[in-house]
Copies of this chain bind each other. A is one copy, B any other.
Amino acid sequence: MRAALELVAERGAQGFTLAEASRRAGVSVAAPYKHFADKEALLAELARTGYERQYERFSAAMAGERDPVEQLAAFAAAYVQFSADSRALFDITFATGLDKQLYPELGRAGDRVLELLREPAARLVRDPAGALDLIHAVGATAHGFAAFLAEGIFGDPAGALEPTKRRARDAARRLVTGGRSG
């Protein structure tokens, strides 16, 4: 798993091959098949832990804030942070093309992450549909900043991390406070 994660970090979730991961782990290419049904199953397991780490990190970041607006802003910043310092785990939860019907735990784990935003959103918007919209808007914006950062659009990803976190935080605040919420 460690070797697989490293490989995903280097080559992306698609460029990942079981054979190379096996070589790096120092085992034969046959060994993984005693632990996983196939290549996809290993990727799915990796993605599951990716969501779990996200959940831990985001909830920790949000726990430091009391104001719901600041909780959403903290989420956005933590999202960007995670995408940068755990890029492999982040990518694998997105760019895999894993069938969430085939791996239902995956869909659930991903939903749990977005549900972190439910309480603060509900405190800000009475209407449930409006609250869901706010959740999606904050999540999408955080994701966009993370993707642009990784793509180098903000310049060198290492150097641009802190400014990008700040901007994601600001954008989240503006999404909440600007105009109506639905």
Residues of A whose CB lies within 8 Å of any CB of B are: 12, 14-15, 94-95, 97, 100, 110, 114, 133, 136-137, 139-145, 147-148, 151-154, 167-168, 170-171, 173-179
Contact = CB atoms under 8 A, between A and B. Distances in A.
Contacts of A177: 178-179
21 contacts: A94-B147, A94-B151, A95-B95, A100-B152, A114-B153, A136-B153, A136-B154, A137-B141, A137-B171, A139-B153, A140-B144, A140-B168, A143-B144, A144-B144, A144-B147, A170-B179, A174-B174, A174-B175, A174-B178, A178-B178, A178-B179
Contacts of A110: 153
A97 B12 contact: yes
A39 B161 CA distance: 32
A141 B137 CA distance: 8
A140 B178 contact: no
